[in-house]
Amino acid sequence: MSPIRKTAIRRDATRKSAEKALKNLLGAGDVYENYRALYSLWCSHNSAVPELRPLFRIPGIEADGTLSVNDEFRRKVRSLAREILPQISSEKAIES
């Protein structure tokens, strides 16, 4: 397997994980847990999921610091997730 193919597989797996976390965040999932999961993906593979950047640029919220999970935080994060999900979902999977 070529290095390019391995990179593509890792990128696809990261994007699928991000999509799952975004869907959970918009559904009944815990906002904090899914936000942290997305931040973890961002920290380790930000080139695979550049669409997540706005989630970690929210004024007054430090993604790697202490978070106050209140209604405003939930509203902002869910609003951004609604915008990001179609971008992540529209990306084609790796073609065989």
Domain ranges of the chain: 3-90
Give whole-number Cα distances, 87 to 6, 18, 45, 51, 72, in Å.
23, 11, 17, 7, 24
Q: How many CB atoms lie within 10 A of CB 34?
A: 21
- Is the pLDDT higher at 5 or at 20? 20
At position 75, the amino acid (one-letter code) is R
Give whole-number Cα distances, 60 to 63, 73, 76, 94, in Å.
10, 10, 11, 37
pLDDT above 70: percentage of residues in the chain: 92
Q: What is the pLDDT of residues 24-46, one digit of tens each?
A: 999 988 999 999 999 999 999 99
Per-residue pLDDT at 56 exceeds 70:
yes
E strands, 1-96, in order: none
Q: Rounded to two decimals, what is the model's pTM?
A: 0.85
Calpha distance 47→7 (Å, rounded): 11
Q: What is the pLDDT of residues 66-82, one digit of tens each?
A: 888 899 999 999 999 99
Q: What confidence score (pLDDT) does residue 61 get?
A: 85
